[in-house]
Amino acid sequence: MVRHLLDIDDLSPDELTTVLDRAAVIKAAHEAGESDRPLADQTLGMIFEKPSTRTRVSFETGMTQLGGHAVFLGPDDIHLGHGEPVKDTARALSRYVDAIMARLFDHADAEALAEYATVPVVNGLTDDAHPCQTLADLLTIREQFGFEDTTVAWVGDGNNVAQSFVVGAAMVGLDVVVATPEGYGIDDDVLDRAAEFGGAPQTTTDPEAAVADADIVYTDVFVSMGQEDERERKLDAFEGFQVTTELLGDRTLMHCLPAHRGEEVTDDSIESDTAIVWDQAENRLHAQKGLLVWLDEQS
């Protein structure tokens, strides 16, 4: 059966641990200068409806390091978005490439891609979910804190990154407290999915209460890609949710990036010694290499 990663709980908790373990081994080998080519002659098709720095470069570099190749398919490069339906794109690409990574607006389009593709489909971010970010986040937290007795405070928008993160955190037994403004919380069905793993996060509208017992403070932009028309309304709604050095204290800062300094986070918070945002960004590469190798082994 072809496996896909549309959200983090497309993996079982055991499979998630296996992918993180595989990523850690691949990272150690990379750091030791060893090279292995388990995906030799394989091609990853990368569909992007939105911009990207980390996702694009980490997947493309990862495929090169694994002995394969990645094809970048931007919004004006293919017929998707210009009249060709998702299901036709899925079937045609499946005849050429060994896996598809897609960054799309509508999560339903990612589901359609997976339904019609005959190769693994990996969600590189939709409006609802960002499971590859969660893989890298969990790898980073496991390396630097471990999961037991670690608490993460999510402060900001209950968006795509937050939603995948709270489910992934529940899968590994990480405690999460979520502070969002009223009306911008995590979707109820996502909280239900987290609860299925025994770890529904506490929710609040008070950032200070959320960080009180936290080891890590995690935030993301207030205005996500595709929400530019909502900018003024969202910036008003998120007043008081900026991660400042005062709110952060001596806690560790995580951010999926890109950061909009002066909005969700201050420049001095990102530049402080407590920020591990570059380790998170690096781990996108290692986590996704672990995922790509694992997906290849399943087919």
Catalytic residues: 103, 130, 133, 220, 256, 284
- The residues in 245-264 that bind ligand CP, with binding defined as CB under 6 A, are 256-258
Q: Which of 53, 118, 202, 244 binds ligand CP (CB under 6 A)?
A: 53
In whole angstroms, how far apart are CA 176 and each of 142, 260, 292? Answer: 15, 23, 28
Q: 42, 159, 164, 280: which one contacts ligand NVA (CB under 6 A)? A: 159
**Binding-residue total with ligand NVA (CB under 6 A):** 9
CA-based nearest residue to 134, from 120, 113, 152: 152
Is the CB of 94 or the CB of 289 nearer to ligand CP? 289
Does 186 sit near ligand NVA (CB under 6 A)? Answer: no
55 near ligand CP, rule: CB under 6 A: yes
Name which position in 100, 121, 161, 211 contacts ligand NVA (CB under 6 A): 161
Size of the site for ligand CP (CB under 6 A): 9
Please give the residue whose beta carbon sits closest to ligand CP in the complex.
Answer: 55
Q: Would you count residue 134 as binding ligand NVA (CB under 6 A)?
A: no
Residue 148 burial class via C-beta count within 10 angstroms: exposed 0-12, middle 13-18, buried 19 and up: exposed
- Residue 125 near ligand CP by CB under 6 A: yes
53 binds, among ligand NVA, ligand CP, none (CB under 5 to 8 A by kind): ligand CP
Give the residue, chosen from 221, 247, 248, 292, that forms a contact with ligand NVA under the rule CB under 6 A: 221
- Residue 224: name its binding partner from ligand CP, ligand NVA, none (Cβ under 5 to 8 Å by kind): ligand NVA
Judged by the rule CB under 6 A, the positions of this chain that interact with ligand NVA are 125, 159-161, 220-221, 224-225, 256
